[in-house]
Structure 1
């Protein structure tokens, strides 16, 4: 288990209902409606998988920036998409899967894998789920 030895930031959010409700950031920077990702619901909203995908994409993008600086590669025009899959396991439980798709249009393809390997190793989201869910990272350069 990874243990934080020096904390830089703690962010929080609170949800207010079981299936359909609202989730608010602890600093009120966002307040959004949520609904389950499947089924018919009387309202629209985001869902946990979209929120996780958004957070993971932002985090991986940041670590891609660190990797780019470390390797002397400009990654400013990069784009990260994180698709989070919700499904059922053989034992009837629930599980997640993730596919990260990274576009690096200004980077030669031969450098893309090195950048993605380093960003993957640095990303706290990857480290948090490593060994627990399937994570696929795909990258495309020029």
Structure 2
């Protein structure tokens, strides 16, 4: 897919990948990375799955708000998205991730909330990038 780039984020990992350091070019991210205890690490830093889940949650909420505005649906200020990103072994003996996106959409009917989640999943850049590559589950809570 070709896009007209309007912004580029740049980060560098050093020192050992999952057991190292990440830093963005603008210094807004400057973190030690450590595998979680569940994966045999110290858990004393962040990990790629946490960073991915934060980005996916923020991006998906933006897509959800865009879809709601286009359909003239007002979202409660308490609306939000939680992204749970799982990490584990895949069937090929390597590693992979999955995602569970939970939309908290108070004040909407269940069917309307589910419809918004599904439509946001079609326009969210993270969802587009991962479509067909990882399992993504959507849950709407009203």
8 Å Cα contact 1:68-1:74 kept in structure 2:
yes
Unaligned runs of 5+ in 2: none
Distance 1:14 1:61 in 2: 26
* Aligned-pair CA distance for 1:107: 1.7
8 Å Cα contact 1:77-1:106 kept in structure 2:
no
Does 2:131 correspond to 1:118? no
Partner of 2:84: 83
Cα deviations by residue, 1:84-121 (Å, 9 ceiling, x for unpaired): 11111122111111100110012222211221111100
Using the size of structure 1 for normalisation, the TM-score is 0.91
8 Å Cα contact 1:59-1:125 kept in structure 2:
yes
8 Å Cα contact 2:34-2:41 kept in structure 1:
no
What are the equivalent positions in structure 2 for 1:22-41 lying under 5 Å apart? 22-37=21-36, 38-41=39-42
Partner of 1:52: 52
Distance 2:20 2:95 in 1: 21
Distance 1:8 1:59 in 2: 16
What are the equivalent positions in structure 2 for 1:1-142 lying under 5 Å apart? 2-4=1-3, 6-18=4-16, 19-37=18-36, 38-41=39-42, 44-75=44-75, 76-141=77-142
Q: Count residues in correspondence.
A: 138
Distance 2:69 2:140 in 1: 18
Further displaced range: 50-59 or 29-38: 29-38
